[in-house]
Structure 1
Amino acid sequence: MTDVFLLNLAMADLFLLLTIPFKATYMVLGSWVFGMPLCKITCSLYAINFYSGFLFLACISIDRYVVIVMATMAHKLRNKTVVYSKRCTVLVWVASILLSLPEIIFTTVEARDGDLLCETLLTEESLSIKAWTRLAQITVGFCVPFFVMLFCYSVIIRTLLKGRRFEKHKALRVILALVLVFVIFQLPYSVVLFLKTAGLLGTSCSDWHNTLVAEYVTGSLAFIRCCLNPLLYAFVGVRFRNDVLLLLRDLHCISRAQYSCYIAARAGSSKRLSFASGSAANTDTSSMF
């Protein structure tokens, strides 16, 4: 299941990063110069993939929780993982689209003080709708994934600490990196959005400008998280490394003997691993991501 979630997470991050040139130009010029269609497409694409990325991170943490903490159940359900992963993927994308409806419907280009603004603009009568939708976005799009990750990885850490395996220390470092990256690069942006929605950042012209700058800066940090996700979730994964080595072997960058030695060493390491929970499953914790 994790492979399916990783693929969709990579797609979400890629589409999210595609909006950077437009948003960067908008921030530098202070005016939207790409027209109404690209304004709506960019904002909608950003929102959909922003929330889907969070939700896929939560799915990955739940999958790792089941595999490591509930290994026996994971073994029984291994034949249904493809079906479950497809259903979860569809639900995540549908939920992301629903969360992004304000951007999809209300995003427009508006002239103000000689500049063109590409914003999600609501009428005075719709401000309450904006507040509630923003609250739902923050809750479902950030708080729920964050606490799911926190719970799952906390239990995973406790399970690994009960074991006597040498490689558990590497798995713990990976978990710590995942949580820290999520908090450091994503939490500031979500806090700014929450304070903006709650009306705690002021309404004067200077306050509006400071809020806009804070939103841009913290939003840039969120983009950095998208760039770090592939490193954390793919490059530390055993299967990914095996595929890279296989590609290098086929390109004759490494010899067949070197490739065979690495695979044999990994296989021997996996056989020596066992879960502290007493499960008969022999999943390698170093491949948990």
Structure 2
Amino acid sequence: MSTDEDYYAYLSAVSKEDYNYDFFPRFSKIFLTFMYSFACIFGVSGNTLVLIVFIFHEKVKTVTDIFLVSLATADLCFLGTLPFWAYSAAHEWIFGTLACQVIRGFYTLNLYGSMLTLTCVTIERYFAVVQATKVHVSQSKRTIWGKAICIFLWIVSLAFALPQFMYSTQAKYDKIICHANYSTLHMEQAIEITQMSLGFFCPMLVMLFCYFTIINTLLKAKGFNKHKSVKIVFAIVMTFICTQAPYNLLKLIRVVDRHVLLSWYYEYALIVTEAIAYFHSCLNPVLYFFIGVKFRKNLKKIVKKIGCARYREMAKQWQTTEDEGSKTCTASNNAEETSLHPL
């Protein structure tokens, strides 16, 4: 990851007096291993539940549903890379250069897929609330457009991830790590600035504009009950901004001023904000449950159906046991009657 790359590449330039040489590697190892593992377990469970509810119960009826399914899929794929980073943080990278390219590329692909999908969710809510009287498109056409936009988003995300697929490699410092090795510093700066600008800061500005306009529209409207679905999307977007902004700002500072890499304060801040940034993939299912009334109702229905199915299975087994017992009892009674009352 970027943290390991910066730490091991620039460690030789930092004196032990200026840097907590012994404590930082231990802190990084324990903290990142725990955070990656927790985020993976918690996030995979939650996002899998989201997909089950949306696909098998709600049947993905609206454009927002399509985007939210795409978001949960991106989160799952992103979380699938964390076990590799957890092992690398605890020990070292043992999976080779090809795996390094694939996993770093896959990680970046789904990270930007999540960002751009959230942006589209926000824009869709903007048209649904602010431009509701001006836009008249049938639900079927909206669904087709939603699917086409999702495909386009994944293509754009793949374009963002191409440098990671191309330039990621395995390297040996104090231990083996997986990092992006660009040919020049200017190339690295150009790629990172482009990715952060088009993949984070521009989408964030679009989200903020859309939601300020949506809130202004709702404040003027009479019935807020019609727009309860906005609450969950708003919470998801704000959570995304709060978790992603600190890490991306620190990355931007690193691109502008490389001297910050000599500060152990910056290294600690980068590690902590990076771990917080990864938690956005875990928090979306929590927001679905606590804010989305429709989601909670459908989840309860699924749990109830599972419970009813188990109850019916147990009842069937009990009935079979009772029937067998009844047959045994009847046969025994008939035998007693035969012996007591011979013909």
What TM-score comes out, normalization by structure 2 length?
0.65
- For structure 1, list consecutive stretches of 5 or more residues without a partner in the other structure: 255-289
Q: 1:151 aligns with which of 209, 212, 230?
A: 209
Q: 2:178 aligns with which of 97, 118, 122?
A: 118
Matched AA of 2:299? V
What is the aligned length? 247
Q: Which moved more, 1:53-62 or 1:229-238?
A: 229-238
Q: Distance in 2 between matches of 1:16 and 1:247?
A: 26
1:60-79, aligned counterparts within 5 Å?
60-79=121-140
Structure with more relative contact order (C-alpha pairs < 8 Å, separation 6 or more):
2
Q: 2:99 aligns with which of 10, 21, 38?
A: 38
Q: Which has the larger radius of gyration?
A: 2
What TM-score comes out, normalization by structure 1 length?
0.76
Aligned twin of 2:153: 92
Q: Which moved more, 1:228-237 or 1:75-84?
A: 228-237
SS at match of 2:242: helix
1:15, distance to aligned residue in structure 2 (A):
1.0
Deviations 1:3-58 (A, max 9, x none): 111111001111111122221222233x3122223222221111001111000000
- What is the percentage of aligned positions where both structures have the same residue? 34
- For structure 2, list consecutive stretches of 5 or more residues without a partner in the other structure: 1-62, 310-343
Matched AA of 1:156? I
Q: Distance in 2 between matches of 1:197 and 1:82?
A: 40
Aligned twin of 2:110: 49
Q: Distance in 2 between matches of 1:104 and 1:234?
A: 35
1:1-289, aligned counterparts within 5 Å?
1-29=63-91, 31-113=92-174, 115-123=175-183, 126-165=184-223, 167=225, 174=232, 177-203=235-261, 206-207=262-263, 211-233=266-288, 236-252=291-307
Q: Distance in 2 between matches of 1:201 and 1:20?
A: 29
Structure 1 residues 137 and 91, CA gap change in structure 2 (3 angstroms): same
Q: Distance in 2 between matches of 1:78 and 1:25?
A: 46
Aligned-residue CA RMSD (Å): 2.6
SS at match of 1:229: helix
